[in-house]
Amino acid sequence: MLRTIAGKRYYGKEVVDQEAKQFQIIMREVTELQGSSNLNDFLPVLQWVDFQGLEKRMVILKKKMDMFFQNLVDEHKRMRSSASIQSVNEVTKMTLIDVMLSLQEIEPEFYTDEVIKSVILVMLLAGTETSSTTMEWALSLLLKHPETMHKAWAEINKNVGQARFLDESDLTKLNYLQNAIDETLRLFPPAPLLIPHESSEECTVSGFHVGQGTMLLVNLWTIHRDPKLWVEPERFRPERFGGVEAEGYHYQLLPCGVGRRACPGAALGRRVVGLALGALIQCFEWEKIGESEINMLEEAEIVIPRAEPLEALCKPRQTMINLLYDL
């Protein structure tokens, strides 16, 4: 996501610089605070003393983040002013910050630095954990069900082959892979309660009266495993999304919410997950470690990760070794 936003890479063992470290520390703290319950919200009297000290930490973190993102924006402004007009407008090399800065030149009152920093923030907060968590659950499920892993690989092999890496344009042909991702999102939706919604007006839903300003938490996890809606709901079966059976599924699969406040990054998320997972299957043979079953316990956080990080064995596929060498 950072590469899209700023053309930088902050992860990977080759990254040792201070900027990358600072970013990782910030993101770790964001994840930690995002998932914590603030007792002040439930017992407002505690706000007087900021009982757990969470709000103070949030204010400090907000300042740190703001400074970090401002530095990124300023750095791009400097690069743009020193580059030639021609290279500045070279669309293929543009990062998201560049695109927003070029819009700032046209509409400075709308595309302020504040707006640019907010977009960066929302993309990082909403677009990273959701996608990476889905990848980890998908790989866990495929390892648990080797026959589905094999089917996904056979599909890639048939449609992409072994002479090149799969790319974005291949994804439309990889239906089984997409179905496996949908089935992962059904069983392990990264945001199982969506984001809290609030009714702007009084309304009636399925005979229930909902007053104005009611907070609505949608239990997606239960909807996705409801036996009234799904055949064999507990079973991982990507095939359910192919063929006739899928025609009956409309509003049952909602990993990205629905309606006006649904996830605006859903298509990007699916693509990123499809590309990463597809590449991992295309290039490596995967095996679980030892005889015991893969633990599928979930951790209770805002974006639900595995309770234990997935550990697996992988070895490059013989047919892909030359390509991997050239990377």
Positions touching ligand HEM (CB under 6 A) are 122-123, 126-127, 130-131, 134, 185, 190-191, 194-195, 255-257, 261-266, 268-269, 273
Q: Which is nearer to ligand HEM, 146 or 264 (CB)?
A: 264
> Smallest distance from the beta carbon of 305 to ligand HEM, in angstroms?
13
Q: Could you tell me if 238 and 179 are in contact, meaning their C-beta atoms sit under 8 angstroms apart?
A: yes
35 sits in which H/E element: none
> Smallest distance from the beta carbon of 276 to ligand HEM, in angstroms?
11
Longest dimension (CA), the chain: 65
Q: Could you tell me if 60 and 50 are in contact, meaning their C-beta atoms sit under 8 angstroms apart?
A: no
Q: Which is nearer to ligand HEM, 164 or 261 (CB)?
A: 261
Q: Which is nearer to ligand HEM, 269 or 278 (CB)?
A: 269
Q: Which is nearer to ligand HEM, 73 or 138 (CB)?
A: 138
Q: Could you tell me if 206 and 149 are in contact, meaning their C-beta atoms sit under 8 angstroms apart?
A: no
Q: Which is nearer to ligand HEM, 141 or 320 (CB)?
A: 141
DSSP string over 92-134: GG--HHHHHHHHHHH-TTTS-HHHHHHHHHHHHHHHSHHHHHH
Q: Which is nearer to ligand HEM, 196 or 309 (CB)?
A: 196
List phi, psi (to 5°) of 12. Answer: 110, 150
Angle at 128 between CA 32 and CA 130, to 5 degrees: 85
Q: Could you tell me if 253 and 224 are in contact, meaning their C-beta atoms sit under 8 angstroms apart?
A: yes
Alpha-carbon distance of 182 to 137, in angstroms, equals 11
> Smallest distance from the beta carbon of 201 to ligand HEM, in angstroms?
18
Residues in the annotated binding site: 263
Residue in the block written with tokens 């103070």: 56
> Smallest distance from the beta carbon of 96 to ligand HEM, in angstroms?
10
> Smallest distance from the beta carbon of 50 to ligand HEM, in angstroms?
27
Pick the closest to residue 238 from 191, 178, 287 (CA basis).
Answer: 178
Residue in the block written with tokens 């639900």: 304
Alpha-carbon distance of 252 to 246, in angstroms, equals 11
Residues in the annotated binding site for heme: 263
> Smallest distance from the beta carbon of 127 to ligand HEM, in angstroms?
3
Q: Which is nearer to ligand HEM, 95 or 130 (CB)?
A: 130
Pick the closest to residue 119 from 73, 56, 59 (CA basis).
Answer: 73
Encoding tokens for residue 93?
A: 């090399």
Encoding tokens for residue 160?
A: 């992409």
Residue 93: what residue type?
K
> Smallest distance from the beta carbon of 6 to ligand HEM, in angstroms?
14
